[in-house]
């Protein structure tokens, strides 16, 4: 500690303010480093020849300026100069907000409508809670959740899987992590997992990482075709089925109740573990029964904050059959130890205080408007299917996905071709997926969609202004 009596004697005004200013100057000059522990009130009072009450006021003023932090039972610690910390943070880039960068309508993201402001307020409230701050710096006990997290997970999942047993919930770092845990727990190296013949592109990457073989199942307008599933089971002897029941990515297909029951019947006959991808179920205001409800003894249900609130939050929940739970939780502990507590605390607070519900309602309304924009832009030019946060656009002849991707890219917009979603040997249809989410206003989205529509309305190889 390098504050001396001479540092404060030359300063005018109250002694406690002189001490605070001297402390600030010492931090700015690097004589006292961020993270350094300060003397106790009594020790500094003795050093400077002032009362303990004066030091208490000086430290309180320093805390209000953001120079130091005080922790009961541990002492006071240097934080740094606030404006310097803020300048450092401002230098971090914010993906997707630089208007000079190409517009990326490839990844499906939540629409941004104030989550950053709400997150800022939540972080401030967490910072003011000593118990939460301390818990963030520690491991979370097995199975990776404290009781408040478990309650929040149950409340979240019960929107789509009623009568939740909290002891069968596991928190994850999103859906991709959850799929990896499912593959490790329900299928082994070299074994077969079935999924739709056009599916989330991450499926292949995750399965390949665990040396699991993925085979495709044909689809119709409702998603998985039961007859094709039966044939694939007989042919490949799979251990697991990974599929969506609502707003399948990328085709937007949704299963009827009869279709769900047929899928469950086949899974039971072939003793399949089902992994149900529920990341887009938040669009369902009156959901049909999930596969996890129809076949709870064999279905792992996956939900995530990534598509409905923010991908960077990296928080999801799994609902796992009782028999499988110890195995999944064990793999999770071995791979991850626990989900970062800060992310889980934010998600749990938002669920329990209703913030997450309000965000979901806003996402539903916002994407309904953005889907209207897509239909208007492509009207008379291309057939589109859109009931979630993207548009599946069927290209008019003679366009191929490769040709259209190149032309859109030349105009500064990135979209994803159908080939990206192909599983197995299925021929890729002439289609592209256009994300309707991410940063930007509806006006920005309308502008970008119109550029794509203009590209599509002219022949391949032609130039548009």
pLDDT for res 5:
53
**159 within some domain:** yes
Cβ neighbours of 453 (radius 10 Å): 18
User: Same structural domain for residues 329 and 233?
Assistant: yes
**28 within some domain:** yes
Domain boundary among 21, 56, 85: 85
User: Same structural domain for residues 380 and 327?
Assistant: no
Domain boundary among 294, 325, 353: 353
Give the span between the Cα atoms of 303 and 297, in whole angstroms. Answer: 18
**381 within some domain:** yes
User: Same structural domain for residues 253 and 392?
Assistant: no
Give the span between the Cα atoms of 419 and 429, in whole angstroms. Answer: 8
pLDDT for res 388:
96
User: Same structural domain for residues 282 and 347?
Assistant: yes
**Structural domains of the chain, count:** 3
User: Same structural domain for residues 246 and 372?
Assistant: no
Give the span between the Cα atoms of 35 and 334, in whole angstroms. Answer: 32
pLDDT for res 376:
97
**91 within some domain:** no
User: Same structural domain for residues 69 and 210?
Assistant: no
Would the pTM of this model clear 0.85, i.e. be above it?
A: no
In CATH, what number is assigned to the domain containing residue 238?
3.40.640.10
Give the span between the Cα atoms of 232 and 359, in whole angstroms. Answer: 40
User: Same structural domain for residues 63 and 128?
Assistant: no
User: Same structural domain for residues 316 and 375?
Assistant: no
Give the span between the Cα atoms of 455 and 372, in whole angstroms. Answer: 19
User: Same structural domain for residues 372 and 342?
Assistant: no
User: Same structural domain for residues 267 and 194?
Assistant: yes
User: Same structural domain for residues 349 and 362?
Assistant: no
* Tens digits of pLDDT across the chain (465 residues): 556 655 677 777 788 888 888 888 888 777 888 888 888 888 888 888 889 888 888 888 888 777 888 766 678 888 766 655 455 444 545 444 455 568 999 999 999 887 888 898 899 888 888 877 777 888 777 665 667 888 899 999 999 999 899 999 999 999 999 999 999 999 888 999 999 999 988 888 898 888 999 999 999 999 999 999 999 999 999 999 999 999 999 999 999 999 999 999 999 999 999 999 999 999 999 999 999 999 999 999 999 999 999 999 899 999 999 999 999 999 988 888 778 889 999 999 999 999 999 999 999 999 999 999 999 999 999 999 999 999 999 999 999 999 999 999 999 999 999 999 999 888 899 999 999 998 788 999 999 999 999 999 988 876 655
User: Same structural domain for residues 391 and 436?
Assistant: yes
**27 within some domain:** yes
In CATH, what number is assigned to the domain containing residue 426?
3.90.1150.10
**160 within some domain:** yes
Domain boundary among 27, 57, 85: 85
Non-local CB neighbours of 399 within 8 Å, separated by 6+ positions: 430, 456, 460
In CATH, what number is assigned to the domain containing residue 77?
1.10.10.10
Strand order across the beta sheet in which 169-172 lies? 169-172, 316-319, 299-304, 273-277, 240-244, 192-196, 213-217
What tokens were used for 247? Answer: 């707003």
Structural domain of residue 378, as residue ranges? 357-457
């Amino acid at each position: 500690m390098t504050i001396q009596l001479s540092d404060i004697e030359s300063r005018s005004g109250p002694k406690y303010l002189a001490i605070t200013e001297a402390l600030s100057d010492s931090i700015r000059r690097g004589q006292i480093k961020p993270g350094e522990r300060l003397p106790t009130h009594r020790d500094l009072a003795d050093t400077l020849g002032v009362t303990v009450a004066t030091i208490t006021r000086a430290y309180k003023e320093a805390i209000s300026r953001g120079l130091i932090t005080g922790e009961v039972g541990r002492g006071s610690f240097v934080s740094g100069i606030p404006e310097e910390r803020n300048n450092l943070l401002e230098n971090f880039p914010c993906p997707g907000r630089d208007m000079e960068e190409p517009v990326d309508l490839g990844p499906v993201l939540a629409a941004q409508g104030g989550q950053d402001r709400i997150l800022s307020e939540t972080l401030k409230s967490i910072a003011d809670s000593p118990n939460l701050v301390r818990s963030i710096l520690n491991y979370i006990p097995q199975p990776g959740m404290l009781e408040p997290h478990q309650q929040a997970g149950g409340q979240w999942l019960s929107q789509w899987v009623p009568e939740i047993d909290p002891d069968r919930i596991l928190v994850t770092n999103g859906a991709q992590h959850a799929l990896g845990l499912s593959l490790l727990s329900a299928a082994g190296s070299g074994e077969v997992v079935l999924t739709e013949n056009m599916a989330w592109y991450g499926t292949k990457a995750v399965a390949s990482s665990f040396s699991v073989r993925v085979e495709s199942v044909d689809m119709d307008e409702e998603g998985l075709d039961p007859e094709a599933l039966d044939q694939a089971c007989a042919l490949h002897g799979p251990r697991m089925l990974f599929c969506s029941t609502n707003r399948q990515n990328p085709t937007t297909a949704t299963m009827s109740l009869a279709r769900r029951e047929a899928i469950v019947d086949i899974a039971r006959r072939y003793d399949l573990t089902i992994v149900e991808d529920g990341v887009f179920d938040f669009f369902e205001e009156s959901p049909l029964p999930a596969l996890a409800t129809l076949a709870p003894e064999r279905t792992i249900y996956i939900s995530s904050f990534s598509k409905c609130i923010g991908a960077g939050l990296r928080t999801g929940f799994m609902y796992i059959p009782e028999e499988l739970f110890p195995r999944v939780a064990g793999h999770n502990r071995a791979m991850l130890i626990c989900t970062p507590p800060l992310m889980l605390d934010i998600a749990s607070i938002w669920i329990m205080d209703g913030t997450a519900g309000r965000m979901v309602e806003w996402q539903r309304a916002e994407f309904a408007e953005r889907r209207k924009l897509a239909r208007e832009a492509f009207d008379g030019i291309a057939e589109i299917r859109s009931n979630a946060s993207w548009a599946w656009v069927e290209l008019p002849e003679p366009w191929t996905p490769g040709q259209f991707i190149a032309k859109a890219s030349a105009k500064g917009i990135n979209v994803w071709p159908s080939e990206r979603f192909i599983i197995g040997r299925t021929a890729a249809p002439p289609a592209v997926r256009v994300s309707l989410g991410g940063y930007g206003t509806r006006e920005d989205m309308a502008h970008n969609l119109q550029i794509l529509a203009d590209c599509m309305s002219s022949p391949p190889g032609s130039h548009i202004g």
